[in-house]
């Protein structure tokens, strides 16, 4: 099992939540739309801690999967509110996602206040997760 599989499980769920969106990924080339909504996703793991000893033990890791929802300025906030609820429905607390046999659990999902960033109105969705990774 691996952190890469944790990332893959979270990304697959985000792809489902953001179906039809233009999505910017970390360190990947992207052309963001100028007059349409788009999202940027970030995998932000913390440093793992040792949960069980030995070379075949497990490490507990957690972190945040961040989704920035971006909208053209001056188009109101009702779409952002409903889009956040749609994303939140895909990441309910207690849900377990898997990829390649690696499980990751969702502990919480919430959003920031809206703000203007680079001529877009942005709402950041933070999805808190944790996973046990075998060594």
pTM of structure: 0.92
With contact defined as beta carbons under 8 Å apart, do 119 and 73 qualify?
A: yes
Q: What tens digit of pLDDT does each residue of 86-107 get?
A: 999 999 999 999 999 999 999 9
**Count of domains forming the chain:** 1
**Is 70 exceeded by the pLDDT of residue 1?**
no
Residue 49: give the domain boundaries: 3-134
> Which CATH number fits the domain that encloses residue 57?
3.30.2000.20
Q: In terms of DSSP bridges, do strands 96-99 and 102-111 run parallel, antiparallel, or are they unpaired?
A: antiparallel
Give me Rg for the CA atoms of the chain. Answer: 16
Alpha helix (H) residue ranges in 44-129: 78-90
């Amino acid at each position: 099992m691996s952190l890469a599989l944790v990332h893959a499980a979270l990304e697959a769920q985000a792809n489902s939540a953001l179906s039809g969106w233009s999505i910017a990924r970390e360190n990947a080339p992207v052309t963001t739309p100028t007059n349409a909504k788009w999202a940027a996703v970030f995998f932000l793991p913390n440093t793992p801690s040792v949960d069980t000893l030995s070379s075949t033990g497990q490490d507990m890791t957690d972190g945040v999967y961040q989704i920035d929802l971006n909208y053209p300025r001056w188009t109101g906030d009702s779409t952002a509110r409903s889009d956040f609820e749609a994303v939140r429905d895909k990441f309910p607390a207690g849900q377990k996602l898997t990829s390649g046999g690696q499980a990751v659990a969702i502990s919480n999902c919430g959003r920031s206040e809206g703000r203007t960033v680079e001529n877009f109105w942005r709402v950041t969705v933070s999805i808190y997760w944790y996973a046990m990774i075998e060594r």
